[in-house]
Every structure is written in C-alpha cells, then in structure tokens.
Amino acid sequence: MKYISTRGRMAPIGFQDAVMTGLAPDGGLLLPEDLPIIGKELPDIGTLSKLSYQELAFEVISRFATDIPADDLKKLINDSYSTFQPLEVTPLVEVGDFQILELFHGPTLAFKDVALQFLGNLFEYILERRGGELNILGATSGDTGSAAIHGVRGKPNINIFIMHPAGRTSPLQEKQMTSVLDDNVFNLAVDGTFDDCQNIMKTIFGEVDFKTKHSLGSVNSVNWARVLAQTVYYFYATFQTLEKTGAKSVQFSVPTGNFGDILAGYLAQKMGLPISKLILATNENDILSRFFNSGIYGMSEVVPTLSPSMDIQVASNFERYLYYKVGQNAEKLAALMDGFKDNGSLSVELNENGVVDDLFTAGRGDTASTLETIKKYHDQYGYVLDPHTAVGVHVAEKFQCLETPTICLATAHPAKFTQAIIDATGEAVHHPTLDALADAETRCDSIINDVDVVKRYLVSHI
Ligand SMILES: *Cc1c(COP(=O)(O)O)cnc(C)c1O
C-alpha cells in the first residue's frame, strides 16, 4: 500500500515512511492510495466478527502496513494493547438506550492511548531497523501530551519533549505527565498560554535545517498511524452491537475536536462497515457542526469549555475528509485550503437533501447540557460520563432512531475531570491510577516563552 498527499505534490511513499514523515512535504496530509474493502481485500463480516480485538486489529492494519512482516506486526499490536485493563481493550456497555464504547482503559485513561500506544511501538520498531533517533516535540493542553509520553517512555533512540502552559493545565493532567520519570521524557512548563506553546512548536518545525539536524518528529493527530489504529474499534463495536441486537446497521456518536476520531469512522464506513450515520458532536467550539449543517467552514474564537480536548479552532484532520468530499481531486482540495488560509473560511455545496453529506448529522452541546447529561445518566443509570462523552451522548439523544442502535464513543474516564463531575452530580469519581498520583514524585523544567531558549534546551538535552 502506498500513501499520497491530499495536495498531490508528492511521489507516493510506503507505510513506514508515512509514519515517520507525519505531515506530507507539500503541506498536505497523507492518505492511502485506496482502501481495502470488506469481502474483497478484507475477509467478510462473518469472519471478521469472530475475532478478538487484537486479531481484528491485525486484519485491518496489515492491509495498510504492507511493508511490515506479519509476525512483527502481530507482536507490535499485542504489545500495544497489553497495557490496557481490561484486556478486552475497548469494552461495550449498555446504558439506557445507548451502547457506550469505553475507549479509556489505556495507561492515561483517554482514547488517545489506543493510537499512541501503537504509534510509540511503531516508532521504536522502525528506528531499530533503520537506525537513527527521533526527538519528539509536542505542545499540549492536557490529554495528548500524557498519552504521547506514556506511548514512548523508556524507549531507546527516542526522546520526548512536551511543552505545557505553566499552571494552566489541570493539576491531575500535569501530574500524569510530570510523574513519568524515565530518562527520555522531558516536561517543559512554559511561562505562557497553550497558544504560546503551539507557536513555539510551529516555529521550530518551520526551521527545516534545525528540524532535520536534530531528527525532530511529531505525534500530533495528523499522523496516519493514529487514524489507522482508531478505525479498529469501529469494526469491533459494530460487530458486537450487530450480534447483540440483531440489527443490520449501527450509528456512531463521536465527540469531536480535531476530526481524528470521527475520520476513522468515516474510513471504516468506506471500507464497507454497515454504519448508517456518523453523529458529529462538538461543544461550543462548533466549527465542524456548523460545517456539516451549512457547508461553510469558518473560523471563530476558541472558548474554554468543560471538554477541553475539543476546544479547537481549526480541525487538523478535516482536510482528509474534504479530499474525499471533492472527489479525491488534489487540485480542488489545494485551492479550497489556500482559500481557507487567506480568508479563514471555505465552503462546499449542499446536496439535494440540503446537507453536506448524508452520512453525517451534527450538533453541539454547551456547558449546561453537558452538566445535565452527566447528571441524568448518573441519576437514572448510575453511570458517570466524562464531559467529552456527555457532549456526544447529548447530541446522540437528538438523533436516536428505533431500528438502528447507537454506539456512543466514551473518550475519557470521568475521574480525569473531577470538578465537572462534582458540579454535575455532587460527588467525585475515583480511579486508582489517578489516586496514586497524589504522592508521586515529579520532574519538570520551567522555561520562558521564547523559541531560542526552547531550542537551546533541546540541543543540550538531545
Ligand atoms: C482528543 C479528544 C477528543 C477529540 O478527538 P479528535 O480526534 O480530536 O476529534 C475527545 N475527547 C477526548 C477525551 C480527547 O482526549
């Protein structure tokens, strides 16, 4: 399988190169040249639905990672998901009218572990064969940084440098990062905001010579391997639900920020999975739900919410969707993205049903509905949703449908967002992993908000 750029100005590359490159050199995002289809390149549903999570992951991922020998890939997958408790990886729980897909049983209790545990092992595997080293630089407001750190901690030939805004990350999320004491992990508390951290990162990545000389790499959600790893649980949850309910198809509700998680569902549907609807849910930062309802993708200000991992202005994976939307026409796509860069807005035509895409419905949940939803599921079913999941469940309630079961993706454990849970229900939830952090030893360096100072830090610690 070869990978192309959405902007069309790159010769096709293999899977391992795609993983190491992250972003395409022409500024586009990488996509496979074509998708394997269930019943053709992939086995049929009857066969696939009998597999364990790890076996299913192998069937799907091996069609894309054709330059990794089968036995090596099996080991990579088994190692990546052995860190999940329970070992089922992504259990499905029935709560009220919904199937809740719990994606938060990895080491940092957020769905990003599903992809980043795999990506960390993949980096290690590729570096072992090719030689060289990788120095990951990232900026985080919370979840991504800790999932990335836990994905590569202790790995040879890899260092990870994660910047967070000093004093502005939740104390728990900060501890999840700074309590990792492996020698290859560097936490930088930047005297500034999350945007400052991101700007430092973008500036450094823009300096191609510096980037190449120091083998800098990124783990952000545009890496193809992250999207790929996330398609697996759509397969897994669909098969479980079809078997449990006898239905012919399912719909998914996905709380969305950078469009990474829901893009995986979109691709799984294209591969032939019987998904009749993808329900896209945003918080008040609703650029994506506005797009699917109006055809206009227009930037606005980011407002802080109870679901911080969805507080985004521009969704970094959206370009991949748009590429399919314009009929895989790289020139058209590049023109749209150029227009967006210049005007902060782009638009596509609505179809005969007055929507952008019949597969998607979209809505938003604000702070009040998030708290109400958490309280409702707590009071009625004794089940606690985290604020991100609650946004998804709230929007799913509007699009429920009798004959099609709805699977709601649960993207974080509620104990990560204690204050919101207390505000909604009056009581805290606990998780032993997080409770153990209270007395954990931590390591973190404070640094001023200055690109050159961060660069000097990198050079002296690589
Ligand atoms: C990252 C994240 C999301 C959003 O996922 P995207 O792939 O960016 O759409 C939702 N919930 C939680 C808890 C997250 O960490």
Percentage of the chain lying above the pLDDT 70 cut = 100
Distance of CA 41 from the midpoint of ligand 1 (Å): 30
Q: Which atom of ligand 1 is nearest to the CA of 142?
A: 15
pLDDT digits (tens, 9 = 90+) for 42-80: 999 999 999 999 999 999 999 999 999 999 999 999 999
Mean pLDDT over residues 215-230, rounded? 92
Percentage of the chain lying above the pLDDT 90 cut = 87
> According to the model, what pLDDT value does residue 23 have?
84
Distance of CA 310 from the midpoint of ligand 1 (Å): 6
pLDDT digits (tens, 9 = 90+) for 304-340: 899 989 988 888 899 999 999 999 999 999 999 999 9
* Spatial distance between the Cα atoms of 307 and 311, rounded to a whole number of angstroms: 7
Domains of the chain (ranges; CATH) run 92-109+225-433 (3.40.50.1100)
pLDDT band at 434 (very low <50, low <70, confident <90, very high): very high
Residues in the ligand 1 pocket, defined by CB under 6 Å: 110-112, 143, 221, 255-261, 309-310, 388, 411-412
Mean pLDDT over residues 87-107, rounded? 96
Q: What is the number of alpha carbons within 13 Å of residue 188 lying toward its C-beta?
A: 31
pLDDT digits (tens, 9 = 90+) for 116-158: 999 999 999 999 999 999 999 999 887 899 999 999 999 999 9
Pocket-testing residue among 101, 227, 309, ligand 1, by greatest number of atoms within 8 A of Cβ: 309
Q: Which atom of ligand 1 is nearest to the CA of 255?
A: 10
Distance of CA 414 from the midpoint of ligand 1 (Å): 14
Phi, psi of 148 (to 5 degrees): -65, -45
> According to the model, what pLDDT value does residue 27 have?
87
> According to the model, what pLDDT value does residue 435 have?
95
Q: Which active-site residues does the annotation give? A: 112
* Spatial distance between the Cα atoms of 243 and 237, rounded to a whole number of angstroms: 10
Residues 6 or more apart whose CB falls under 8 angstroms from that of 442 comprise 175, 178, 179
Q: Which atom of ligand 1 is nearest to the CA of 312?
A: 8
> According to the model, what pLDDT value does residue 292 have?
97
Question: Residue 16 CB: number of other CB atoms within 10 A?
Answer: 18
* Residue 444, Cβ density class (10 Å: 0-12 exposed, 13-18 middle, ≥19 buried): middle
pLDDT band at 25 (very low <50, low <70, confident <90, very high): confident
> According to the model, what pLDDT value does residue 90 have?
97
Q: Helix (H, G, I), strand (E, B), or coil: what is residue 4?
A: strand
> According to the model, what pLDDT value does residue 420 have?
96
Q: Which two tokens stand for residue 187?
A: 């936490």
pLDDT band at 194 (very low <50, low <70, confident <90, very high): confident
Q: Which atom of ligand 1 is nearest to the CA of 112?
A: 15
Strand segments (E) across 88-204 = 92-95, 98-102, 134-139, 158-165, 185-191
Question: Residue 27 CB: number of other CB atoms within 10 A?
Answer: 16
Distance of CA 283 from the midpoint of ligand 1 (Å): 11
User: Do residues 143 and 110 touch, judged by C-beta distance below 8 A?
Assistant: yes
Which residue has the least CA distance to atom 12 on ligand 1? Answer: 411
